[in-house]
Chain A
Amino acid sequence: MNPVISVSRLSKTYASGYKALKEIDLDIRPGEIFALLGPNGAGKTTLISIICGLVRASEGTVTADGHDIVRDYRAARAKIGLVPQELTTDAFETVWATVTFSRGLFGKRANPAYVEKILRELSLWDKKDSKIMTLSGGMKRRVLIAKALSHEPQILFLDEPTAGVDVELRRDMWNVVRGLRDSGVTIILTTHYLEEAEEMADRIGVISKGELILVEEKTALMSRLGKKTLTVQMPSRLAEVPASLAPYALTLSADGTELVYSYDAGEDSRMTALLQDLAREGISFKDLRTEQSSLEDIFVSLVKDNR
């Protein structure tokens, strides 16, 4: 399957000499939700800005649906919608006027029925005649999404889409994004909320100091780099871990009532052996609890390693 976005050896050095991106190679598959993660200043927004035509690349090429973003910018940009990180809106315009403007700007004939459909899907229909300045932050974010979708793009960039949005609205927004993916739109999102990427992304890319240090399927990544812990709660105190259990590198809690076993997410099979060895040592248990490290833990560990 041909990538819908293809980034090849992309570098960006600003006039100040700061290297924001270093030879990035990245392919985005059609119809996926791709989450680009990275700490502040890692180069996420620069990468998005280059693809969308807001920043000029120093080296390398980018194609959108096969169209070079510089040589064939009209065709490339027509495929892309961008929701910027900042709530940059025309404060004095109405919702309807600003979304209609965006559609025209991207070369589409006026289509009130389509604009109405978007506004209804984003729960903005009853606000269509309101001036944007009167809307809440969450509603303004929706307006930006509506503007980005107004020209029926195949690819949607969401730069920190839920920044400053309350938990309820964030979940609501996730549903909107999933709905867009279901309708065939490819979504590339950057986010600080790792929970967001864990919840929605099909694939994860991690960028740090301008380098793309990892691109992987979310489930594979969490399975490969994720850690699990098994906590065994015992009915009575244990003075020390028997020597025969040393290969498991168990940790005994301070009060001696819990044994903690850490293992890679893909090594579930050793758990059975551990339980058998515990029984052999005469250690009984009253409860078992397993926990898996989150994407956030993996991300922190990856970025720390890259420092």
Chain B
Amino acid sequence: MNFHAIRAIYLFEMARAGRTLLQSVVSPVLSTSLYFVVFGAAIGSRMADIDGVSYGAFIVPGLIMLTLLTQSISNASFAIYFPRFTGTIYEVLSAPVSYAEIVIGYVGAAATKSIILGLITLATASLFVPLQINHPLWMLSFLVLTSITFSLFGFIIGIWADGFEKLQLVPLLIVTPLTFLGGSFYSIDMLPPVWRTITLFNPVVYLISGFRWSFYGVSDVSVGISLTMTLVFLVACLVAVSWIFRTGYRLKS
């Protein structure tokens, strides 16, 4: 294992986030805080409790998940797309590193940034709404697992994209709508039966549900299913990444 290479890629990516602190940290935290202010503190006080949880507190796991998903994808996709765009990828491809080491470096850094952002968002939320975390270890597990899985997904998008527009396509047009419709702001039990069934095809439902359970002990679907679905998506991403490196898709001719 080339640990020096993994470290070099990881630190390089973390340093990039440090240079763009405003874009990397301040901007997502600010936008999520606005959700807390509007939906949590302002409107939330006039909303009924859901499953015994105040509305402001109810939406916290979903909003953290929204941050995790979008930031994991955006960090990882940009990290691998930018060297492809500028041509500096030649150095990584000609270095004595295995594909697994490249992925650990890039995805590890993207996931770390997302986890940090998720924790900052959580800390910010606690300023606006009363929070409780019934299962802190599970909460951290979901946080880490989701960050890694969606960073892998972002890495795949970064390889697939052949322009900055495509890079934004999946996070904006697929992930954000799925997160909003995946129970971030409501329990799917509140939906009519037909829509509830349709919603169960949305994979983000399982992520938010499992994550919310770790906070309040309530969930739309069982925690076991949530965990299984997250792991299935993780394995699917790993298979896709392995195929990319085996075939050299968009990396080597």
Per-residue CB proximity of B1-22 to A under 8 Å, as 1/0? 0101101110110011001000
Q: When chains A and B are docked, how far (Å) is the Cα of A108 from the Cα of B7?
A: 11
In the complex, which of the residues B4, B12, B90 contacts A88, with contact meaning CB atoms closer than 8 Å? B90
Check if B224 is an interface residue, CB within 8 A of chain A. Answer: no
On chain B, the residues within 8 Å of A84 by CB distance are 87, 90
What mask results when residues 80 to 115 of chain B are scored 1 for a CB within 8 Å of chain A, else 0?
000000111011111111100000000000000000
Max count, chain B CB within 10 A of own CB: residue among A14, A102, A107: A107
Interface hits, B103-153 → A, CB 8 Å: none
Interface size, chain A (Cβ < 8 Å): 34
Chain B residue contacts of A275, Cβ below 8 A: none
Asked if A106 and B95 make an inter-chain contact with CB atoms under 8 angstroms apart, the answer reads: yes
Chain A residues with CB under 8 A of B95: 77, 105-107
- If A90-B86, A97-B15 touch, whether A54 touches B2 (CB-CB below 8 Å) is no
State in angstroms the CA–CA spacing of A95 and B95 once bound together.
19
Residues in B with CB closer than 8 Å to A53 are 93-94
* Contact of A89 with B by CB under 8 A: yes
Q: A77-B95, A105-B97 are in contact. Are A15 and B253 (CB under 8 A)?
A: yes
User: A73 on the interface (CB 8 Å rule)?
Assistant: yes
Chain B's interface: helix, strand, loop or mixed, by majority?
helix
Q: How far is the CA of A258 from the CA of B8 in the complex (A)?
A: 68
Contact B253 A88 (CB under 8 A): no
Please give the distance in Å from B44's CB to the nearest CB on chain A.
Answer: 41
Which residue on chain A has the smallest CB distance to residue B3? A107
* B253-A56 in contact (CB<8A): yes
Question: Chain A residues with Cβ under 8 A from B15's Cβ?
Answer: 97
> With an 8 A cutoff between CB atoms, is A74 at the interface?
yes
Contacts of A114 in B (CB 8 A): none
Residues of chain B with a CB closer than 8 A to A86's CB: 87
The reply to whether A88 and B252 contact each other, CB–CB distance below 8 Å, is no
The answer to whether A54 touches B93, judged by C-beta atoms less than 8 angstroms apart, is yes
Contacting A at CB under 8 A, from B1-47, are 2, 4-5, 7-9, 11-12, 15-16, 19
A143 to chain B, nearest CB (A): 12
Total cross-chain contacts (CB, 8 A)? 75
* Complex alpha-carbon distance, A86 and B16, angstroms: 23
The answer to whether B52 has its CB under 8 Å from any CB of chain A is no
Query: Contact between B96 and A74 (Cβ–Cβ < 8 Å)?
Result: yes
Q: Counting CB contacts under 8 A, is B248 at the interface?
A: yes
A-side contacts of B87, CB under 8 Å: 84, 86, 88
CA gap between A91 and B8 in the complex, in Å:
17
Smallest Cβ distance from B109 to chain A, in angstroms? 13
A54 and B252 in contact, given A77-B96, A86-B87, A88-B86 (Cβ under 8 angstroms): yes
> How far is the CB of B4 from the nearest CB of chain A, in Å?
5
Which chain A residue shows the least CB distance to B94?
A: A52
- Check: A135 CB closer than 8 A to any chain B CB: no
Q: Which residues of A contact B252 (CB under 8 A)?
A: 54-56
- CA of A62 to CA of B8, assembled, Å: 28
* Interface status of A78 (Cβ within 8 A of chain B): yes
Interface residues of A in 61-80 (CB under 8 A from B): 73-78, 80
Q: Which residue of A lies closest to B253 (CB)?
A: A55
Residues on the A chain within 8 Å of B9, using CB? 105
Interface string of A86-125 (1 = CB under 8 A from B): 1011111000010011111111110000000000000000
Q: How far is the CA of A104 from the CA of B11 in the complex (A)?
A: 10
With A56-B252, A73-B96 as known contacts, state yes or no: A106 contacts B88, CB within 8 Å.
no
Most buried by B among A75, A88, A101, A105: A105
When C-beta atoms are compared, the residue in chain B nearest to A100 turns out to be B8
In the assembled complex, the Cα of A78 lies from the Cα of B95 at a distance in Å of 7
Residues of B within 8 A of A102 (CB): 91
| Shortest beta-carbon distance from A296 to chain B in Å | 30
Known contacts A88-B86, A90-B88: A78-B96 contact under CB 8 Å = yes
Contact bitstring B226-253, A, C-beta under 8 A = 1, else 0: 0000000000000000000000100011
CB–CB B96/A104 < 8 A = no
A sample of 7 cross-chain residue pairs with beta-carbon separation below 8 angstroms, ordered by A number, consists of A54-B252, A77-B94, A80-B94, A84-B87, A88-B86, A89-B86, A102-B91
Interface residues of A (CB under 8 A from B): 14-15, 52-56, 73-78, 80, 82, 84, 86, 88-92, 97, 100-109, 147
Q: A91-B86, A105-B95 are in contact. List 20 more A-B contacts (CB 8 A).
A: A53-B93, A54-B90, A54-B94, A56-B252, A84-B90, A88-B90, A89-B88, A90-B86, A90-B88, A100-B8, A104-B5, A104-B7, A104-B11, A105-B5, A105-B8, A106-B96, A107-B4, A107-B95, A108-B4, A147-B91
Q: Which residues of B contact A (CB under 8 A)?
A: 2, 4-5, 7-9, 11-12, 15-16, 19, 86-88, 90-98, 248, 252-253
Which 9 residue pairs of A and B lie closest in terms of their CB atoms, listed nearest first? A104-B8, A88-B87, A74-B96, A77-B96, A52-B94, A105-B95, A107-B2, A78-B96, A104-B4
